[in-house]
Amino acid sequence: MSIRQIFLVVGLFSTTLVSAQLDLGLKAGVNITKIDDRAFKDEFKYGYHLGGFAAFGLGKKFGFQPEVLYNQFSLRIDSSYTNTVTGVFQNGLTNVKLNYLSIPLLFNYKLIGKFITLQAGPQFGILIDQNRSLLQNGGDAFKKGDFSMLGGVQVKLGPLRVNGRYVVGLNNIADLTNGTRWKSQGFQVSAGIALL
């Protein structure tokens, strides 16, 4: 692709964005999650998420909403399991917090005017390695990590956004070689505000 073609594509994309309705904002909320495996208590635990969103209008009914979120999930390991896998759960650890950089890519459908919107789409997440930069962690989100699907509803009241979503993990997030499969599921409830 030539430089001229690149500028043409960027120009067309920019024109589309300017003509489309665009909202940029911040959001925060609660995660209510669990991991399905015998290693973990069969219960939902609370965590949190915070980040930003961009919402693009694509016609009267449809839209696209990418987000970047810092997600924390809390889990409790089943005490009967901690001794069965040597070296995985050290020092009798039973409460675990997992921190993810998550990138939801949501498609919106306006159900009732501009007020109630249905949302669905994939979410890419990478467990944050404290020894790497934010950009390095983010780059791994599309190569390896947690792949989930989201579905939910958003209520829009002026600049205020209130979301409720169900999240189901589709891939195995366990880094073990013994055939263990860990899949996440849960709910997200959040409030956000459009700044632009």
- Domain locations in the chain? 26-194
Parallel, antiparallel or unpaired: strands 160-169 and 146-157: antiparallel
Dihedral in degrees, nearest 10, Cα atoms 74, 80, 83, 88: -20
Tokens 């055939």, residue? 179
pLDDT given for residue 127 in this prediction = 80
Rg (CA), the chain: 19
Contact 101, 116 (CB under 8 A): no
How would residue 72 be classed by pLDDT, with cut points 50, 70 and 90? confident
Q: Which residues contact 16 (CB under 8 A, 6 or more apart)?
A: none
154-171 residue pLDDT tens: 999 999 999 999 998 877
SS3 137: helix
Mean pLDDT highest for which of 61-65, 72-76, 135-139, 145-149?
Answer: 61-65
pLDDT given for residue 20 in this prediction = 56
How would residue 69 be classed by pLDDT, with cut points 50, 70 and 90? very high
How far apart are alpha carbons 176 and 172 in whole angstroms? Answer: 10
83-130 residue pLDDT tens: 444 444 444 556 667 788 999 999 999 998 889 999 999 999 888 765
Topology classification of domain 26-194? Porin (2.40.160)
User: CA of 61: how far to CAs of 47, 161, 162, in Å?
Assistant: 33, 17, 19
pLDDT given for residue 99 in this prediction = 86
3-62 residue pLDDT tens: 665 556 555 555 555 445 789 999 999 999 877 655 555 667 889 999 999 999 888 899
How far apart are alpha carbons 125 and 142 in whole angstroms? Answer: 8
Mean pLDDT highest for which of 70-74, 143-147, 169-173, 182-186?
Answer: 70-74
43-55 residue pLDDT tens: 678 899 999 999 9
In the numeric block, which tokens belong to residue 165? 């979503």
Read off the pLDDT of each residue in 165-186 and give the average, rounded to a whole number: 67
pLDDT given for residue 189 in this prediction = 97
Amino acid in the structure at residue 13: F
